[in-house]
Structure 1
Amino acid sequence: MTNIVLFGPPGAGKGTQADVLKEKYNLVHISTGDVFRYNIKNNTELGDLAKSYMDKGHLVPDEVTINMLKAEVEKNEDAKGFIFDGFPRTEAQAEALSNLMDEKNSQINAMVALEVDDEVLITRLLERGKVSGRADDANEDVIRERIAEYYRKTDILKNYYQKQDKYYGVDGVGSIEEITERLSEVIDKL
């Protein structure tokens, strides 16, 4: 089983690459954002619990998030592996994910981070904002803060996976095909 944590700042191309990689390697893509939206929209017990925290402006506790992810993993018992997108975000979440994989007699094989220069990210996100209409992609100050927040939060995770020799930085600039090729070179060696 191949399990990858796909990381990168906003606008790095995680969603695009996850779509390509899940097809190429027959993996299940689990996007934390999608899982939250699904559970909240469908009024699941975990969704209602998560919404109760979010409505108060609080972060959803790791335990609730992990339980949602565990449910997604268990829905896909026959999977050849998973791409985790947007999770983990903290060392505690990384530990919880590791424990979840242990329960499945598996492990996280790699954290693969798409590395893109900040100015390239800003240009990409502003362009995406024009096309998508996403408010958070239309304001350069908001974009810069999202990127800064990513670096503040993820340096810890980079160190966590580096200590396990599981961190791989991949150049995220170029055509979709070029970036996929770089990611594939890493995944093929796992």
Structure 2
Amino acid sequence: MRIVLVGPPGAGKGTQAAYLAENLAIPHISTGDLFRANISQGTELGKQAKAYMDAGNLVPDEVTIGMAKDRMEQPDAANGFLLDGFPRNLAQAEALDGILQDADQKLDAVLDLEVPEEEVVKRISGRRMCRKDGKHIFHVEYSPSKTDGVCDICGGELYQREDDREDTVRKRLEVYHTETEPIIDYYKAQDLVVTIPALGKVDEVTQRAMAALEREAA
């Protein structure tokens, strides 16, 4: 299957993508991984992306599209893939259609993870990272540390990242509504969108998504 996963920041796309890709035996292709791989391998696209990022500028669509195209052409993606974070806007969605058409392929579904906006704000703004380790993550409401402000695992200080501040989260949501949400209507016109309520436990959301994909494939 060839699937696009969309949803606002904090909807759990990365978590769901990993589970779904494993269940479907297809590669999980995320924009973040594409950038890291191309930059670390020193590819021409990676060098271009790094130059823009080092200058504090957004990476142009054509660079991101090029990376995604290269990855989708790898042998492990011959029978399908799950795209997470791409396409991010209408220009990228149209480019993806062109790439697939050239390869005589098509998308099977676009999974839209639906989460109320205030829940997104609560999920992200409540995160606390361990300053010492940088990997341990807690949440003030959903998974609090035993001692306020202290990591249970290594004793490091817990802090709120700038990206997780409520005002920053709301700005990220504005960008999502402006740039990414229009692709949902674009794919609805192609009868590809399957909306998945993304509240609840991780495995419950995964089961909903798998059931929806099975219905689409039937």
Q: Decide: shared fold, TM above 0.5.
A: yes
**Is the counterpart of residue 15 in structure 1 residue 9 in structure 2?**
no
**Is the counterpart of residue 35 in structure 1 residue 61 in structure 2?**
no
The answer for the alignment partner of 2:156 in structure 1 is none
> Which structure has the higher relative contact order (CA within 8 Å, separation 6+)?
1
Q: TM-score when scaled to structure 1? A: 0.91
Structure 1, 98-107 or 53-62: larger mean CA deviation: 53-62
Greater C-alpha radius of gyration: 2
Residue identity over aligned pairs, in percent, reads 44
- In 1, the alpha carbon distance for the partners of 2:160 and 2:23 equals 29
What is the one-letter code of the residue matched to 1:155?
Answer: E
1:129-148 to 2 correspondence within 5 Å?
A: 129-130=128-129, 131=137, 135-148=161-174
What is the one-letter code of the residue matched to 1:65?
Answer: T
| Structure 2: stretches of 5+ with no match in the other structure | 130-136, 139-158
- Larger helix share, 1 or 2: 1
Q: How far does the alpha carbon of each residue in 1:35-57 deviate from its partner, in whole angstroms, 9 at most, with x for none? A: 11221223211100112223333
- In 2, the alpha carbon distance for the partners of 1:57 and 1:138 equals 20
What is the one-letter code of the residue matched to 1:182?
Answer: R
4+ residue segments displaced more than 6 Å: none
Offset of residue 13 of structure 1: 0.6
Change (3 A) 1:116 1:31: same
Coordinate RMSD, CA, aligned: 1.8
Aligned residues: 189
Q: TM-score when scaled to structure 2? A: 0.80
> Would you say the 8 A contact 1:137–1:143 is kept in 2?
yes
Structure 1, 54-63 or 90-99: larger mean CA deviation: 54-63
1:12-161 to 2 correspondence within 5 Å?
A: 12-77=11-76, 79-130=78-129, 131=137, 135-161=161-187
> Would you say the 8 A contact 1:129–1:137 is kept in 2?
no
Change (3 A) 1:65 1:134: farther
Q: Secondary structure at the match of 2:181?
A: helix
| Structure 1: stretches of 5+ with no match in the other structure | none
